[in-house]
Structure 1
Amino acid sequence: MFYHIKELQYQAKPAHPDPVYAKKLQEVLGGQFGEISVMMQYLFQGFNCRADAKYKDLLYDVGTEEIGHVEMLATMISRLLDNAPADVQEDAYKSNPAIAAVMSGMNPQHAIVSGLGAMASDSEGYPWNAKYIISSGNLLADFRANLNAEAQGRLQVTRLYAMTDDPGVRDMLSFLIARDTYHQNMWYAAIKELEERERDIVVPTTFPRELEKQEVSYDLFNFSRGDESSQGRWAHGEAFDGRGEFRYIPAPIAFASAPHLKPAPMWLHNTVPPMSKC
C-alpha cells in the first residue's frame, strides 16, 4: 500500500508566475523521459520482480520517491500558472486575460482543461503514454533502461535549468538534478552487481551461446561510407563479455540470396506480378 504525507520532498516555489515556462516544465513531468515515466517504470518493475528481495525493495524505494517528484513538479507548474493570465499582454487583452496568456505562448489547455494546473502530458500537450515504460522481468535489461531514463531525464532538467533565471525554479531543479546524479550511480552499481553475479554482460545471460551464429557475434560491419568507426575500441581487441574478439569487416558480404515472394491469394486483391496475369 502507499501512504501519503502532506509535505513535499523538496520545496517547489517559483519567485514569480511564468505560464510559458510552465508549458516547458511539462516535458519533465509527462514527457517520454519525465517523472511520470520513471515513476511508473520503477513501480511496475517492482510489482513484477521475481528476483532477490533487495532488488524489489530498491525498485519500490525509488519508484515511490518518483511519486514525490511528480508531486513537486505538478505543484511547481500550478504555482507558475498562478495569477498568470492577468499579467500577460494586459494592455492588449484587458477584456480577456485568459486569451492573452494563451496568445503569449501559454499552453491553452492549462487554462481550458486543467484550470491552471499541471497535466499528465508533455510540453506539446501530448498525453503521457504507457508505451514509454519498460518492465521486462529481466533486471539487467531493465536496469540498463533505467540508467538511460535517468540520463535522458537529467539532461532535459539541466537544459530547463538554463532556460530560466527564476531562483525558486532553479532551486527545485537543482534538487532533481542531484537526485538524478544518485540514481544514475545507483543503477550503474546495480547493473555491475548483476553482471558480476551472472558472469556475463549480454542480455539475456541465460540463452545458450551455441544456439546463436557465433561467427558474427563480435563483428562490426562497415555499412556506411568511410571507415572511421574502425578506430573505436568496439572494433578491435577482446570483447567485454570475455568470450570473443572484436573484428572490423570493411566490406560486408550478403549471407543470403535475394528474396522472392509468392503472389498473394487472388481474394486479397494485391497487385499481381506481370507473369501471374496470364
Structure 2
Amino acid sequence: MFSYSKPLFYPVQVEARDPAFGQILLEHYGGKDSEYSAATQYLNHRSNMNNRYLRDLLGMIAAEEMGHMEMIAVAINKLGGPPLSYVNSQGVPWNISYVDQSLDPIGMLQADVEAEVRARILYNHHYQMTNDPSLKKMISFLGNREDVHKYLFQKAQKLIQNGAPPEQFNELIMEYKMSLKTSERL
C-alpha cells in the first residue's frame, strides 16, 4: 500500500536559521497533535474500519501525514533545530496514549476530525510565531491540508449516519485525489 517518493509534498525553504523555532516545530513531529500521532491513529483506525472505501481513505491520509512529518523534519533541520526524535518541544517523549483506540466507525472518524482540528490550531499558532515568509507558506499549506482531511472525515461520518450506498463512499476517494491536484497548483 505504501510507497516512498523522494519529492516532498511541498518545497521546504527557510530564509534564516532559527534553532528556537526548530525546537517549537517538534510539536508537529513528535508531540501529542503531531503528524506522527495522526498517521499512527489513522493507520490504527484503518485496520479496524469495515468499509473498504474508508479504509482506503484512512490509508491515503495516513501516508500523507507521514509526508507532512518529513516536511517538518526537513524544516527543523534547515532551521538548525535539535536532533529529531519522537518528542515534543519540551522534550516529552511521544506515547501511545496520543492515539485514539475507538472501534466504532463514527467514534473513530470523530476522533480523526478532532485530531485535524487540534493540528490546525497548532499550525495557526506557529504561523503567528514566525516572520519567515517561506515557513509561513509551508505552515499555511499544512494547515490547509488539515482542513481537507477534517472535511472528508466529517463527510464520511454523515454518509455512515445516512446509510449511504458504497458508491457514495467512493466519492470520498475521488474528492481526496482531487484535493491533492488542487494543492499541487498552490
In the aligned structure 1, how far is the partner of 2:114 from the partner of 2:142? 16
In the aligned structure 1, how far is the partner of 2:29 from the partner of 2:148? 19
Q: Alignment partner of 1:197: what SS?
A: coil
Contact 2:31 2:94 in 1 (8 A): yes
In the alignment, which residue of structure 1 is the partner of 2:143? 177
In the alignment, which residue of structure 2 is the partner of 1:146? 112
Cα offset for 1:135?
A: 3.4
Q: Alignment partner of 2:162: what SS?
A: helix
In the alignment, which residue of structure 1 is the partner of 2:5? 5
Q: CA RMSD in A?
A: 1.4
Structure 1 runs of 4+ aligned residues shifted over 2 Å read none
Q: Which amino acid aligns with 2:158?
A: K
Q: Which amino acid aligns with 1:158?
A: N
In the alignment, which residue of structure 2 is the partner of 1:159? 125
Contact 2:28 2:69 in 1 (8 A): no
Q: Alignment partner of 2:103: what SS?
A: coil
In the alignment, which residue of structure 2 is the partner of 1:56? 55
Q: Which amino acid aligns with 2:116?
A: E
Pick one of 158, 162, 178 that aligns with 1:196. Answer: 162
1:213-259 per-position Cα deviation (integer Å, ceiling 9, x unaligned): xxxxxxxxxxxxxxxxxxxxxxxxxxxxxxxxxxxxxxxxxxxxxxx
Q: Indicate whether 1:125 and 2:91 are aligned.
A: yes
Q: Which runs of 5+ in 2 are unaligned?
A: 165-186
In the alignment, which residue of structure 2 is the partner of 1:70? 69
In the aligned structure 2, how far is the partner of 1:131 from the partner of 1:64? 21
Cα offset for 1:181?
A: 1.3
In the aligned structure 2, how far is the partner of 1:130 from the partner of 1:75? 24
Q: Indicate whether 1:168 and 2:134 are aligned.
A: yes
Cα offset for 1:164?
A: 0.4
Q: Alignment partner of 1:128: what SS?
A: coil
In the aligned structure 2, how far is the partner of 1:128 from the partner of 1:165? 28
In the aligned structure 2, how far is the partner of 1:57 from the partner of 1:130? 23
Q: Indicate whether 1:80 and 2:79 are aligned.
A: yes
In the aligned structure 2, how far is the partner of 1:181 from the partner of 1:6? 25
Cα offset for 1:128?
A: 1.0
In the aligned structure 1, how far is the partner of 2:132 from the partner of 2:163? 46
In the aligned structure 1, how far is the partner of 2:117 from the partner of 2:140? 15
Q: When you count helix as a share of all residues, which structure comes out higher?
A: 2
Cα offset for 1:23?
A: 0.8
Number of matched pairs:
164
1:182-206 per-position Cα deviation (integer Å, ceiling 9, x unaligned): 11111111111112229xxxxxxxx
Cα offset for 1:55?
A: 0.8
Cα offset for 1:75?
A: 0.8
Structural mapping, 1:264-275, within 5 Å: none
In the aligned structure 1, how far is the partner of 2:14 from the partner of 2:134? 4
Cα offset for 1:48?
A: 2.8
Tell me the TM-score normalised to structure 1 length: 0.57
In the alignment, which residue of structure 1 is the partner of 2:172? none
Q: Which runs of 5+ in 1 are unaligned?
A: 82-105, 199-278
